[in-house]
Chains A and B, each alone.
Chain A
Amino acid sequence: MPELDGWLLDLFEDQNEGAVFYFISQDGRRVRLHQEFPIVFYALGTNSELRSLWRFLASQPRPPRLRRDTRYDVFSRRRETVLAIETSNAYTHRALFQRMLQFFPDLTYADVDIQLSLRFSAATGVFPTACCHVVFDENHKILQINTLDDAWSVAEPSIPLRVMRITPGDNPAHAEPRQLLIDMDGKTCQLDLKDERPLLVNFCALLKRFDPDLILTEWGDTWLLPRLIELSQKHGIHLALNREPHRDIRWQKERSFFSYGRVVYRGQQVQLFGRCHIDRRNASMWNEYELDGAMEACRVTSLPLQVSARTSPGTGISSIEVLTALREGILVPWQKQQAEMIKPAAELFSADQGGLVYQPQVGVHKHVAEIDFVSLYPAIMVNFNISPETILSDPTAPNVVPTLGIAIDDSQMGIVAKALKPLLTKRVSLKTQLSKLSPRDASYNSLSSRASALKWLLVTCFGYLGYKNARFGRIEAHQAVTAYGRELLLRAKEAAEEAGFEVLHLYVDALWVCKAGCEKPADFEELLCRIIEHTNIPIALDGVYRWVVFVPSRLNADRPVPNRYFGVFQDGSLKMRGIDARRHDTTPYIGQTQKHILEMLAEYAEPRDALPSVLRYLKMRLRKLRNGEVPLKDLLVKQRLGRKVEAYRTLPAAGRAARQLEAVGKRLEPGQRVVFLHMRGEPGVHAWDLPNPPDPRSVDWLYYQELMIRAASTVLQPWVGSEEKLRDLVLKETVQLSLPRMISRHPIIHSLPILAKPVLLPALKAENLVTIDC
């Protein structure tokens, strides 16, 4: 019998062969195998309902295999009698289920809409990219498959992928790219996009010669591959993007959805069979963790690489839970109908809260330690066994959740805790490894990306617990997590105060503390031990700040705002949250200025000493802005559209820019970013992706100046004072003119519109001014 040791690259359903698998063998061959893979799903209902369903299914032209069974249901907390229905493959399963829904819409169904890769991983332990041992027959049918790999091992994945990277020089939304830059494991070549036929012929030859396992593109989903496919049809040249010659490419439609308080846009997707395609610009978390992270997500979620790279961490965490349920024989609900428990109104006040967030003590603080709980919410779910089926509505039971009228059943581990435990352990191990490495180490970036992928899965697992449509979500479990979170943070605060520390700020899973005489990390070690003793959750010292500033509200300088701060750690590194340099919609020129000011402040033991050079620097940056010396690219603003352009009542700048694009036929969907410049006159913006370039003389530098002063003031306010004071300091060699009353021979005046309100201009000599009577 032929055997193979190698890695599973891709798997998908096939109407005739059941499931098709592509392997990379250890000797470098790419091998296609197949296997029949029956699909089992379940129906729940009364005995008579299940009997009628049985009769209905038995009378079908190709009846499925049927049996009575019992499976555990997390929401009823008991084993339920079910009718197990086994179909020969995924295609027959879907067709049969549609018919069942038509005739038996009221029954409860489970294990219905589960990806093949998850079912296969649950049945065999083999997940995409896993190293495995396969025995097959001469018809390439798999007889036996065993995994030699472990998704939870911290070792680096070993799959030897051949990666073809394709990059067009420009963003196709901005300007038509002229050539494609192709990199194949270090060998590069360029293809001219203008000559269509040679382009196709050469590209097909490259595909055939290099035979990539992964095509990694930029704008491949939304522009490149659709374009190449269109050209191949036009010129009648077969383009073998798939390794499966007879299959079409899998297209997924574009969509906009709401996630974490904002609208997200996902472009259409082009997925291949037998090899993977990832569009870096359309992969949701690519900027966070790149290929190493996508691979890590693929391994722990058991989703194929090209799917896991594109899906949100929410889908990832849901997959891990489904996988755990399949392995444990727990029913995976289809269209869950779960209502919130009945509770007294008073309890709603206690339950409907998030994490504990203090109002920080505004101002500069020295020698402050920032202490973070490590993955607090997932650790709570695992340590306190919080899961939909472990929540008891009996407040007299042991293990009552603090401040809530519910308790936790600790008799057996819940499905969510079971799913999260290995994930949490792996992340902590990777983080520990990472902390021992220098950032210059060759494996640092890969390890950091993998830890980041796990972090995002863990971050979303809490949200999914409270999401009513999540398969294993339950609002009471979600509320229990935040209740424990508040309790543990308060315990940490009490521990710190007992040890004589002043608590400057608390933010969900972190606290900022200081104490006279405590300046080095070692001075805080005893406190860390004390907090761990009080909470039983791992905690880490993020660092000791030389100084940290908690900034007040922009609208009211007497009011503190949480999570807006910046500071310098003892090693000179900066940390900032909530300020302009961290925001995605800040103009690069302004973000860079703010960051550089912070770096200048960090160079001095006493930040005040840096002020003269900081002010000189700021004046220089403002001068460059006024003189038009800043490249337009550095003044671009990127903002996400929150809705369709026609849905705005009053159009914000981003909406006006989107409307300009619409006028030239470039339509933007909610969640897409619009890039524009602020300009003088109507409509006040110029969309960057318009075919005509903006006139640099019309850039509204006064507006950019205001943004710059505001950003600089945020970080200089503790030492300089109010924004007005800073404005006086940096613009003091300018004079204020009231324009309708004065005209001048100064060149700038002629390029400015007539404004009713005063504007600030560079100093003018008296002889250049003429006062007129209005």
Chain B
Amino acid sequence: MGRTLASATQVLIQEEGAFSRFRRALRRQDQLALDDLFNAAQNHLSAAAYAASALPFESFLLAMLLEEHKEVMRLRQVVAELQEMHA
């Protein structure tokens, strides 16, 4: 309502839509992984909106990377704990 530009949510939906052919050509398990990445971007919509970048997809990619890195950090910690348990 009353906006000149599309909101971050609308932009993400458009970007996701723009990759629909890319997604279609992926294997099923890859499609699910791709969906996870877009879900990760969705988690940081407010940050992407606040960043107000002219190329919002950069913010979405960074958000995906962020969630991936959080997962890496979590797994690292699990591995460390397991190593400690077995040491």
Contacts and interface: CB of A to CB of B under 8 A. Distances in A.
B18 interface: no
Interface in B15-48: 35-36, 39, 42-46
B54 A349 contact: yes
B82 to A, nearest CB: 25
B3 interface: yes
Contact of A358 (B3, B5, B36, B46): B46
A527 B52 CA distance: 30
A490 B4 CA distance: 24
Interface in A165-199: none
Interface in A446-489: 466, 486
B40 to A, nearest CB: 9
Contact of A261 (B1, B4, B43): B1
B5 A348 contact: yes
Nearest to A490: B50
A359 interface: yes
Given A349-B52, A353-B52, A560 B42 contact: yes
B53 A349 contact: yes
Nearest to B56: A349
Interface size class of A (residues with CB under 8 A): 20 to 34
B39, B52, B53, B54 — most chain A CB neighbours (10 Å): B52
B49 interface: yes
A532 interface: no
A356 interface: yes
A345 B46 CA distance: 20
Interface string A240-262: 00000000000000000000110
Given A346-B54, A466-B2, A558-B39, A353 B49 contact: yes
A564 to B, nearest CB: 14
Nearest to B39: A558
Contacts of A261: 1
Interface in B45-84: 45-46, 49-50, 52-54
Interface string A344-357: 01101110111011
A350 B46 CA distance: 13
Contact of B4 (A346, A352, A356, A506): A352
B68 to A, nearest CB: 15
Nearest to A357: B46
B45 A349 contact: no
Nearest to A360: B43
Contacts of B3: 352
A556 B5 CA distance: 25
A575 interface: no
A356 B47 CA distance: 9
A736 interface: no
Contact of B42 (A346, A353, A359, A466): A359
Nearest to A507: B46
Contacts of A697: none
A358 B42 CA distance: 10
Contacts of A348: 4-5
A28 B41 CA distance: 68
Contacts of A227: none
A486 B50 contact: yes
Nearest to B42: A559
A357 to B, nearest CB: 6
A93 to B, nearest CB: 34
Given A349-B52, A349-B53, A356 B46 contact: yes
A312 B52 CA distance: 34
Given A348-B5, A352-B4, A403-B52, A506 B43 contact: no
B37 to A, nearest CB: 11
A467 B44 CA distance: 30
A356 B3 CA distance: 15
A591 B18 CA distance: 39
Contact of A359 (B36, B45, B54): B45
Nearest to B44: A359
B42 A352 contact: no
B12 to A, nearest CB: 10
Contacts of B2: 466
A556 B4 contact: no
Contacts of A506: 46
A352 B50 contact: no
B43 A560 contact: yes
A354 B52 CA distance: 12
B80 to A, nearest CB: 22
Nearest to A559: B42
Contacts of A558: 35-36, 39
Nearest to B6: A352
B52 to A, nearest CB: 4
Contacts of A260: 1
A258 to B, nearest CB: 9
Given A346-B54, A348-B5, A403-B52, 10 more contacts: A348-B4, A352-B3, A352-B5, A353-B50, A356-B49, A357-B46, A359-B42, A359-B45, A560-B42, A560-B43
18 contacts: A260-B1, A261-B1, A349-B5, A349-B54, A350-B52, A352-B3, A352-B5, A353-B49, A353-B50, A356-B46, A357-B46, A358-B46, A359-B43, A466-B2, A558-B35, A558-B39, A559-B42, A560-B42
Interface of B: 1-5, 7, 35-36, 39, 42-46, 49-50, 52-54
* 5 interchain residue pairs of minimum CB distance: A349-B52, A350-B52, A558-B39, A352-B5, A358-B46
